[in-house]
Structure 1
Amino acid sequence: SSAHDDTSTNQSPEPSAPLKETSFSIGLQVVFPFLLAGFGTVAAGMVLDIVQHWTVFTEVSEVFILVPALLGLKGNLEMTLASRLSTAANIGHMDTAKDMWKMIMGNLALIQVQATVVGFLASIAAVIFGWIPEGHFRLGHAVLLCASSVATAFIASLLLGLIMIGVIIASRKVGINPDNVATPIAASLGDLITLSLLAGTVSSSHAEYNDYASPLVCAVFVAMCPLWVLIARRIPSTRELLYSGWEPVIIAMAISSVGGLILDKTVTNPNFAGMAVFTPVINGVGGNLVAVQASRISTYLHMNGLPMGDPNPTPRKCPTPCTSFFGSSVNSRSARVLFLLVAPGHLVFLYTINSLRGGHTTLTPIFISFYLAAALLQVLILLYLADWMVHWMWGRGMDPDNFSIPYLTALGDLLGTGFLALCFHMRWFIGDRDTSTGN
């Protein structure tokens, strides 16, 4: 049809939402939520740093495998919810109260189903990853992990889902592009809420350990699933996702669990106890930046009117790093802005951790150099992958809002945890030893 040729595309009316954004305006809108999210991950790091010494974390070390998988859940569910609702808000699908309520109810029900199922699967992954190296299976630990994982995922998703919806509606009212604001806010509160809930549920289940409480908790949450399924099926926009939205969420959970295995093996070594405080920070910052970029590219594609599954008038080849970062398009501009935030952001967060006496790590120039190199490399890889993946999914007819962010944030967890473990090992190897390991 003539809609696909170049001339008619150029004459289509300009989309009504974001105006031409300059690097400065992108930076200005992104920097405050970015810092807020960063301080949220610093707080989460401090929590992990304290709880890693609790009895339950030392006795059931598989809980560490759950940490990236459950923290990654907010990347899977809340950030995709934020990205979906931001796009819906930008293209006017939430303008009337009735439409808005339908979107809200359907999406909340959908993430409750996903959270329950993924929480359950994450606990199974943690049990398997914990069981393979040790070679013996403990039923008590498995039930404890299952109950705390499902409860944490369910409660955290409900709280964060409600906060997200509030943020998106508020940012529409004051005329801010919700893409720039919603995902980092989901991130800032997400890690802290999830980690605190996990530590609380694990230790209370462990303290009052009896044979009935944990399986009962698990059963109650699982029994509520059919109710959420019924609600989500009644809304057209979430009905489809109820069937098709599983693959990215589950694969992302598996990728994050591998990061969890690295964390478990590293943190339980007394020489690397300092790693706990930095893991949520490096993973969180990388995940936030790439989620903003993926969310922006996705909205850009939705608003420029190219049908999904239809490659651009000139089919897009795999982007080179040059076009991703040095091109003239608004997406290259935002990639540059986001990349430039990495080093200053991390220096602020390292200084904050240091001044709060967090971690068991003395910040030496060598450690800071390694850490910044790891963080920059992680974000460089992620932003490049986002540019490629969002366009690739679009060309395949998959909505990048639902599919790209889980993969990207999970890869962020894996790269972040892996590079960070490498930093600690290299630092140990060259003799930049910790003087404060025991504090």
Structure 2
Amino acid sequence: MNSSAAASDPHSTHVLASDSDDDEHLQEHGILKGGSDSHPHQQQRQGSADSSSTIVSIDSTDGHPPKYARESFEYSEPGHDREYDQGLSVERGGGGSSGFHGSAEGESDKGLWMQALTTLVIAVSGLICAGWLLDAVQHWPVFLEISELIILIPILLNLKGNLEMNLASRLSTASNMGLLDTPSSRNGFIKGNLALLQLQSLTVGSVAGLFSFALGMIVHPTTNNLEEIALMISSSMLCASASSFILGSFMCGLVLICRHFHVNPDNIAVPLASSFGDLVTLVILSGIAVFMDDYIQTPLCISLLLILLALIPVWLYIVRKNKYVSEVVKEGWGPVFSAMVIASTAGLTLERYINQFPGMAMISPVLNGLTGNIGSIYASRISTALHANIQENYRSTEKTLFLVHIPIEVLFLAVISLLGLGDVQWSFAVVAGYSVVALTLVTMSLALAKWITRLFWKWGYDPDNYALPILTSLIDVLGTALLVIGFWALGYGKDAATTPPASV
């Protein structure tokens, strides 16, 4: 894609650019490619997504400030002591030696393995807790009386997870580019993104609640009233807003800590945002639903709904005045709502089979979440590499992420089997079937992450805002479908419940 095409594309403004017109500043913090000291804005994006892409996009024609201020990687992954085979390096001006060194075969595997393994073990703990909680709350009176809440859960978790993962991906890229190193740009960027997260969470919360209720009406036509609709939407919006505040603050702090200790946040922030997002959101949603159910016949639900709706234009005004996110607010809705539509299939499937297959409420969030996290790490790394004009070592990263997935799956099976979580009817056939499903899904996740991220970049869209929602929603649908097919093929479920399963 040439520069003229990029300039005519309104979506090309979100790729990295410098917000300084001072040439000396750009030379001090610029990217040196192959020893060249050319101005970053003179570089062009050429070829397909496989080729090196420039660190900056064509500047916005409407004069809006860009998201990222300066281009400077200042961390090295553990074990990295040499550059990419392509000879690309990112160095600070003035002879600084610190920089981002690409993943060299073998040496990079250790760093990625250590960071990803540690992060995913923590993440899977959150997913296990979320699965255990979902398995418990499905039997609560409010979820039995308003079955649409079960449909809402995967849709809301997917939407909220996408918002936090997008935030984590933007923060990771901004951190790696040095935007969070100075107080002025750091404070403005973080405040703007937290305000944007509130705007997005209230909006998607309202749409998710209404959409879930509409799907419930289609699947289970019953007599419903305004109070139930108000309870669904207000619970969804309040839950989304509260969890966004908690998780957004946590993500900002986590990325800053990673920057301080020279750890790549691409390997850490996105999985934790997704996994703890599911747990925190599910805890808050369950508590709000129970509380609101006691006041369903009072004006509380409708009054709360009106207040939450009135906050949307307030947050919109705040976001539009922040130079770091004023453009992002225009482009982030398409992938999020597209992901909601895709994820609704997973919600309907879960609501249909959650009672037929014991333990599905326990297994499904962990299976989908873990494989989605693997793909998200890969997509986040590719996105940062594309922004920084650095070639990601695809084969090495894919191999490492695939292998790191295996011991975590073994750990998950051992924990829920030993603790008896989820009432899963374990047998050798069920373990083997689950293993086939998990390995198939993680392979699909890595392939989709690479394809989707590079495709959006090729089209001129920032993968930090577009890739992860589509990726994770597809993984939710594919994982739930593969799990149902696997259970059905094994004869697992209510029909097999009368036969005691063999021990694992």
Please, what TM-score do these two structures have when normalized by structure 2?
A: 0.77
- 1:100 to 2:186 alignment: yes
Q: Which residue in 1 is equivalent to 2:314?
A: 227
User: Which is worse superposed, 130-139 or 293-302?
Assistant: 130-139
Q: Which residue in 1 is equivalent to 2:324?
A: 237
Q: Deviations over 1:44-71 (max 9, x none)?
A: 0111111111111112111111111121
- % same residue: 37
Q: Which residue in 2 is equivalent to 1:371?
A: 434
Match of 2:348 among 257, 261, 276: 261
TM-aligned CA deviation for residue 302 of structure 1: 0.6
Task: Give the secondary-structure state (helix, strand or coil) at the position aligned to 1:232.
Answer: helix
- Aligned partners of 2:498 and 2:427: how far apart in 1? 9
- Aligned partners of 2:440 and 2:229: how far apart in 1? 36
- Aligned partners of 2:469 and 2:479: how far apart in 1? 15
- Aligned partners of 1:92 and 1:199: how far apart in 2? 39
Q: Which residue in 2 is equivalent to 1:409?
A: 472
Amino acid at match of 2:490: R
Amino acid at match of 1:53: H
Amino acid at match of 1:401: D
- Aligned partners of 2:384 and 2:247: how far apart in 1? 22
Match of 1:300 among 385, 406, 423: 385
Amino acid at match of 2:233: C
Match of 1:145 among 201, 214, 232: 232
Amino acid at match of 2:453: V
Match of 1:291 among 361, 376, 379: 376
- Aligned partners of 2:461 and 2:144: how far apart in 1? 43
Amino acid at match of 1:18: F
User: Which is worse superposed, 91-100 or 369-378?
Assistant: 369-378
TM-aligned CA deviation for residue 143 of structure 1: 2.0
Q: Deviations over 1:33-54 (max 9, x none)?
A: 1110001000001111111111
- 1:19 to 2:101 alignment: yes
Task: Give the secondary-structure state (helix, strand or coil) at the position aligned to 2:423.
Answer: coil
Match of 1:340 among 403, 415, 418: 403
TM-aligned CA deviation for residue 13 of structure 1: 5.8
Amino acid at match of 1:347: V
Runs of 4+ in 1 over 6 A off after TM superposition: 5-12
TM-aligned CA deviation for residue 342 of structure 1: 2.5
Q: Deviations over 1:287-335 (max 9, x none)?
A: 21111111000000011179xxxxxxxxxxxxxxxxxxxxxx5232112
- Aligned partners of 1:165 and 1:283: how far apart in 2? 25
Q: Which residue in 1 is equivalent to 2:28?
A: none
Q: Give me the CA root mean square deviation.
A: 2.4
Cα–Cα, structure 1 residues 429 and 38, in superposed 2: closer, same or farther, change >3 Å?
closer
Amino acid at match of 2:90: E
User: Is the CA contact (8 Å cut-off) linking 2:237 and 2:308 kept in structure 1?
Assistant: yes
User: Is the CA contact (8 Å cut-off) linking 2:148 and 2:212 kept in structure 1?
Assistant: yes
- Aligned partners of 2:479 and 2:252: how far apart in 1? 29
Task: Give the secondary-structure state (helix, strand or coil) at the position aligned to 2:193.
Answer: helix
Q: Which residue in 2 is equivalent to 1:46?
A: 132
- Aligned partners of 2:53 and 2:202: how far apart in 1? 46
Match of 2:366 among 269, 281, 289: 281
Q: Which residue in 2 is equivalent to 1:351?
A: 414
- Aligned partners of 1:188 and 1:218: how far apart in 2? 28
Q: Which residue in 2 is equivalent to 1:309?
A: none
User: Is the CA contact (8 Å cut-off) linking 1:34 and 1:184 kept in structure 2?
Assistant: yes
Amino acid at match of 1:349: F
Q: Which residue in 2 is equivalent to 1:56?
A: 142
- Aligned partners of 2:278 and 2:53: how far apart in 1? 46
User: Which is worse superposed, 184-193 or 113-122?
Assistant: 184-193
The 5 A counterparts of 1:97-246 are 97-139=183-225, 140-246=227-333
Task: Give the secondary-structure state (helix, strand or coil) at the position aligned to 2:325.
Answer: helix
User: Is the CA contact (8 Å cut-off) linking 1:37 and 1:188 kept in structure 2?
Assistant: yes
- Aligned partners of 1:435 and 1:104: how far apart in 2? 56
Match of 2:154 among 64, 68, 71: 68
Match of 1:381 among 430, 440, 444: 444
- Aligned partners of 1:176 and 1:195: how far apart in 2? 30
Q: Which residue in 2 is equivalent to 1:392?
A: 455
What are the ranges of 5 or more consecutive residues in structure 1 without an aligned counterpart? 307-328
- Aligned partners of 1:13 and 1:191: how far apart in 2? 37
Cα–Cα, structure 1 residues 348 and 153, in superposed 2: closer, same or farther, change >3 Å?
same
Amino acid at match of 2:386: L
Q: Deviations over 1:147-167 (max 9, x none)?
A: 111111111111100000000
User: Which is worse superposed, 251-260 or 135-144?
Assistant: 135-144
Amino acid at match of 2:427: T
Structure (1/2) with the larger helix percentage = 1
User: Is the CA contact (8 Å cut-off) linking 2:430 and 2:490 kept in structure 1?
Assistant: yes
User: Is the CA contact (8 Å cut-off) linking 1:105 and 1:232 kept in structure 2?
Assistant: no
TM-aligned CA deviation for residue 3 of structure 1: 3.8
